[in-house]
């Protein structure tokens, strides 16, 4: 069995060593143009040339949860595309989102500003029941986030394309219930996959339906959010703020207004990083399952794009 590795912006050697250890007997090599054909590929943001030269691939294993970049390429039609379905990312995402929600709810950003200004001040405690959190996208990461938020006793709403039942979470599903979900939500957390249907989903119209004083947390993809519409609603006062981890262009351009907006908190696409050891173990297990004809979790449906 031959495995080829093609991941941009990723140090290859630790991955190659790890895959060799996890798949004894397999030939694991870094892809170079003109490389011999392989059975399976481990990829992140590969060029189209890679797939053009490897049309015989049986399995393509993405080292992240999002496959939107791959969906823009011409993939071998017979290949099974598989994404990571956790590998240590869900607990990181839950940490990040809970931190952002609590920081906003408890007004820790305001306290930080006061202390920097030398002011010793208190703020009136807020009512938790007034801060319903809506998780948009209830896959592996979204479900973990929704469950984590319940631990802090926030009212939690969840929206997904199809019906998903999570104990303690008020569920909404499909286009017909999307507006009701938004109107029931004050803090919106986006964990949707990026597809043609979800691009620009957070725009002036949809974000205006959030409860007054709404807050936006985007940890999915930058193209879900219409940047100018967010700024307009922040400046109008309808939205109280936003925490953004993903952007249409990364790194975020120096001239982008997000950098200096007083109501926006930024992080550099770090909400849930790929953990190499966990990812290698998961990918190796899925390669062996695919070779044996066993069920594999995380298979991407090309029609849906996730």
User: Are 132 and 244 contained in the same domain?
Assistant: yes
User: Are 50 and 157 contained in the same domain?
Assistant: no
Strands 59-62 vs 264-266: parallel, antiparallel or unpaired: unpaired
Binned at pLDDT 50, 70 and 90, residue 148 comes out as very high
> How many structural domains comprise the chain?
2
Considering the chain, what percentage of its residues have pLDDT values greater than 70? Answer: 100
Residue 56 has pLDDT above 90, yes or no: yes
Contact between residue 83 and residue 64 where contact means Cβ atoms under 8 Å apart: yes
User: Are 169 and 47 contained in the same domain?
Assistant: no
Domain of 35 in residue numbering reads as 2-87+274-292
Please provide the average confidence, as pLDDT, over all residues in the chain: 97
For position 65, what pLDDT does the model report?
85
User: Are 283 and 227 contained in the same domain?
Assistant: no
Contact between residue 283 and residue 259 where contact means Cβ atoms under 8 Å apart: no
User: C-alpha 9: how far from its chain's center?
Assistant: 18
User: Are 181 and 245 contained in the same domain?
Assistant: yes
User: Are 30 and 177 contained in the same domain?
Assistant: no
Catalytic residues: 221, 269
Q: Give the CATH number of the domain where residue 169 resides.
A: 3.40.50.720
Tens of pLDDT, residues 68-111: 999 999 999 999 999 998 889 999 999 999 999 999 999 999 99
For position 86, what pLDDT does the model report?
85
Contact between residue 10 and residue 63 where contact means Cβ atoms under 8 Å apart: yes
Distance CA 38, CA 55 (A): 9
* Long-range Cβ contact pairs of 13-19 (< 8 A, separation 24 or more): 14/276, 15/42, 15/63, 15/276, 15/280, 18/276, 18/277, 18/280, 19/280, 19/283, 19/284
């Amino acid at each position: 069995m031959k495995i080829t590795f093609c991941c941009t912006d990723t140090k290859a050697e630790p991955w190659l060593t790890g895959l060799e250890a996890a798949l004894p007997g397999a030939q694991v090599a870094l892809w170079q143009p003109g490389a011999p054909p392989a059975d399976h590929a481990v990829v992140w943001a590969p060029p189209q040339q890679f797939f053009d030269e490897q049309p015989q691939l049986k399995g393509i294993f993405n080292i992240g949860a999002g496959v939107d970049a791959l969906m823009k390429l011409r993939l071998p039609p017979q290949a099974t595309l598989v994404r990571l379905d956790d590998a240590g990312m869900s607990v990181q995402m839950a940490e990040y989102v809970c931190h952002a929600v609590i920081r906003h709810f408890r007004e820790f950003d305001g306290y930080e500003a006061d202390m920097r200004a030398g002011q010793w001040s208190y703020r009136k405690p807020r009512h938790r029941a007034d801060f319903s959190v809506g998780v948009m996208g209830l896959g592996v990461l979204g479900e973990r986030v929704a469950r984590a938020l319940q631990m802090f006793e926030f009212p939690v709403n969840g929206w997904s394309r199809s019906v998903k039942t999570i104990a303690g979470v008020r569920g909404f599903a499909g286009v017909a219930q999307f507006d009701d979900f938004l109107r029931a939500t004050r803090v919106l957390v986006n964990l949707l996959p990026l597809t043609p249907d979800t691009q620009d989903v957070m725009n002036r119209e949809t974000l205006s339906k959030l409860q007054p004083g709404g807050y936006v947390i985007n940890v999915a993809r930058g193209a879900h959010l219409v940047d100018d519409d967010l700024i307009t609603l922040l400046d109008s006062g309808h939205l109280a703020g936003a925490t953004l981890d993903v952007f249409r262009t990364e790194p975020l351009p120096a001239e982008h207004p997000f950098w200096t907006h007083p109501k926006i908190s930024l992080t550099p696409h770090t909400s849930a990083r790929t953990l190499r050891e966990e990812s290698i173990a998961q990918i190796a297990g899925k390669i062996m399952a695919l070779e044996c004809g066993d069920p594999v979790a995380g298979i991407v449906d090309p029609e849906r794009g996730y």
